[in-house]
Amino acid sequence: EIPLKYGATNDGKRQDPAMQKFRDNRLGAFIHWGLYAIPGGEWNGKVYGGAAEWLKSWAKVPADEWLKLMDQWNPTKFDAKKWAKMAKEMGAKYVKITTKHHEGFCLWPSKYSKYTVANTPYKKDVLGEMVKAYNDEGIDVHFYFSVMDWSHPDYRYSIKSEEDSIAFSRFLEFTDNQLKELATRYPTVKDFWFDGTWDASIKKNGWWTAHAEQMLKEMLPGVTINSRLRADDNGKRHFDSNGRLMGDYESGYERRLPDPVKDLKVTQWDWEACMTIPENQWGYHKDWSLSYVKTPIEVIDRIVHAVSMGGNMVVNFGPQADGDFRPEEKALATAIGKWMHRYGEAVYACDYAGFDKQDWGYYTRGKNGEVYMIVFNQPYSERLVVKTPKGISVEKAALLGTGEEMNVVETARNEYNISIPEKSPDEPYVIRLKVRAAKGTKGIYRDALT
Ligand SMILES: COc1ccc([C@@H]2N[C@@H](C)[C@@H](O)[C@H]2O)cc1
């Protein structure tokens, strides 16, 4: 054991009500909204294919020039109630909002920066309107917060001098002030998801990351904090020098997911993945033809994949500068919502089932021990193979929705064939298994001597 002052604080998964709600929510929506939505990936007549919220970097725009975009921030079509309805219809149980992205523009009227909505033609506190509208729909609100701030003269990528150190101390105090401001103005916030914490300057100040977590937890009992904020005494991030997860859930699965066979270690801790609909666009980009755009079923596959391994999934939306959403995102939210309305029982409050992954899709397990099969790939054999853990038998199988009983045929020790539905559901479907802890399996099976 390496002695640490700023290492992990949890011992295993948190089991308090706030964390259980975080976990049971399972499906979230990300909202990436900022000045970057105005140019939408184009600068001086050139369209950049990289992530639109990084356009300032791709086009090498100086901060003061970039922040002049504030003069054009006027989302006249913004209607927080409509946004909240869309999230509700999608079946998102929580929404993560970019309070401040790397650009430094604040969606709330911060008194610690001039780069806020208050100093735009629109003036209004859009963050406050969103928090109220989502909460009124029973949707939890999480705050995304970028520590790295391209608008602030005291930000440092590394600490190379006493001057750097003094400036960065001022920057950390500024950051503390903004975090306290967010926690005070919006006390219903349930989570802080930190980004922009990979630079050497932060890794050198692990103490501050531990302090920020502690400060927010004192101000907002129950609040959850992502592992990405955290660096320990030695600059180790996410997992401390003793291999223990810092923060309350692992947050490294961004636009990627753990392998259902090789990465089962992730079932030991809480984690949350996040994903984009195009290959890599978080903020609004005007041209989605530049990369592959996932279909609704490909998004649902990733949602179920995450839950099948004990994780949450946050699906990203990049609202337009005018405050409306692009048609593709509206259609996606509707499609996800339709599926979640029918099959959400296999997602919400579900977890890793402990069954070996099969080709037809994923398993999840409900709170009362029921096991769900979410079938994405129906086999030509018309038999869905289920291999149960030692001592577990399958009693019954029923199609979610119609209740149609599936045939359960035992084919070998701890192996079954489950029949497919009479009539194809024409979409990924769910079979609910009733399993039992069998007292010793029947003696009829023999392993071959080889
Ligand atoms: C250097 O690589 C990245 C990639 C993505 C990010 C940000 N994290 C995502 C959640 C988005 O906010 C993206 O801008 C930052 C740095």
Quick one: pLDDT band at residue 438, thresholds 50, 70, 90? confident
pLDDT of 139 reads: 99
Atom of ligand 1 nearest to the CA of 283: 14
- Among left, alpha and beta (phi > 0; psi -120 to 50; other), residue 268 is alpha
Q: What is the DSSP letter of 369?
A: S
Atom of ligand 1 nearest to the CA of 274: 10
Give the span between the Cα atoms of 257 and 275, in whole angstroms: 9
Atom of ligand 1 nearest to the CA of 316: 10
The residue among 96, 97, 112, 119 whose CA lies nearest residue 178 is: 112
Give the span between the Cα atoms of 108 and 73, in whole angstroms: 13
What are the phi and psi torsion angles at 276 (to 5°)? -105, 160
Quick one: pLDDT band at residue 366, thresholds 50, 70, 90? very high
Q: How far is CA 327 from the centre of its chain?
A: 22
> Both tokens of residue 390?
């030692």
pLDDT of 447 reads: 87
> Both tokens of residue 361?
């899709």
Atom of ligand 1 nearest to the CA of 101: 12
Q: ipTM for the complex?
A: 0.99
* pLDDT over threshold 80, residue 443: no
pLDDT of 445 reads: 86
State pLDDT tens for residues 16-27.
999 999 999 999
User: Does residue 57 contact residue 343 with C-beta atoms inside 8 Å?
Assistant: no
User: Nearest residue CA, atom 3 of ligand 1?
Assistant: 196
What are the phi and psi torsion angles at 104 (to 5°)? 95, -5
Average pLDDT over residues 352-371: 98
State pLDDT tens for residues 6-62.
999 999 999 999 999 999 999 999 999 999 999 999 999 999 999 999 999 999 999
Task: Tell me the β-bridge partners of 194.
Answer: 145
User: Does residue 230 contact residue 181 with C-beta atoms inside 8 Å?
Assistant: no
Give the span between the Cα atoms of 108 and 120, in whole angstroms: 11
Half-sphere exposure of 201 (CA within 13 A, CB side): 24
Q: Is the CB of 282 under 6 A from ligand 1?
A: yes
Task: Tell me the β-bridge partners of 142.
Answer: 96, 191
Q: Is the CB of 67 under 6 A from ligand 1?
A: no
* pLDDT over threshold 80, residue 210: yes
Give the span between the Cα atoms of 446 and 293, in whole angstroms: 50
Give the span between the Cα atoms of 337 and 91, in whole angstroms: 5
Q: Is the CB of 51 under 6 A from ligand 1?
A: yes
Q: Is the CB of 279 under 6 A from ligand 1?
A: no
Task: Tell me the β-bridge partners of 46.
Answer: 43
Q: Is the CB of 24 under 6 A from ligand 1?
A: no
User: How far does the centroid of ligand 1 lie from the alpha carbon of residue 51, in Å?
Assistant: 8
Atom of ligand 1 nearest to the CA of 30: 10
pLDDT of 89 reads: 98
User: Does residue 267 contact residue 23 with C-beta atoms inside 8 Å?
Assistant: no
> How far, CA to CA in Å, does 210 sit from each of 42, 207, 253?
38, 5, 22
Quick one: pLDDT band at residue 318, thresholds 50, 70, 90? very high
Average pLDDT over residues 184-197: 99
pLDDT of 441 reads: 55
Q: Is the CB of 53 under 6 A from ligand 1?
A: yes
Counting ligand 1 atoms within 8 A of each CB, the residue from 254, 255, 314 with the most, and so the one to mutate, is: 254
The residue among 251, 252, 227 whose CA lies nearest residue 239 is: 227
Quick one: pLDDT band at residue 440, thresholds 50, 70, 90? low
Strands 140-146 and 191-195: parallel
User: Does residue 99 contact residue 145 with C-beta atoms inside 8 Å?
Assistant: yes
Atom of ligand 1 nearest to the CA of 102: 14
State pLDDT tens for residues 323-348.
999 999 999 999 999 999 999 999 99
Counting ligand 1 atoms within 8 A of each CB, the residue from 282, 285, 316 with the most, and so the one to mutate, is: 282
State pLDDT tens for residues 261-309.
999 999 999 999 999 999 999 999 999 999 999 999 999 999 999 999 9
Residues 6+ apart with CB under 8 A from 356: 261, 387
Residues 6+ apart with CB under 8 A from 102: 53, 54, 56, 146, 148, 149, 150, 195, 196
Looking only at Cα atoms, what is the longest distance across the chain?
A: 80
Give the span between the Cα atoms of 338 and 357, in whole angstroms: 26
pLDDT of 446 reads: 85
User: How far does the centroid of ligand 1 lie from the alpha carbon of residue 229, in Å?
Assistant: 13
Q: Is the CB of 272 under 6 A from ligand 1?
A: no
User: Does residue 279 contact residue 292 with C-beta atoms inside 8 Å?
Assistant: yes
Give the span between the Cα atoms of 69 and 51, in whole angstroms: 18
* Averaged pLDDT score across all residues of the chain: 98
pLDDT of 406 reads: 98
Give the span between the Cα atoms of 195 and 235, in whole angstroms: 16
| Angle at CA of residue 175, ends 230 and 210, nearest 5° | 25
Quick one: pLDDT band at residue 408, thresholds 50, 70, 90? very high
User: Nearest residue CA, atom 7 of ligand 1?
Assistant: 195
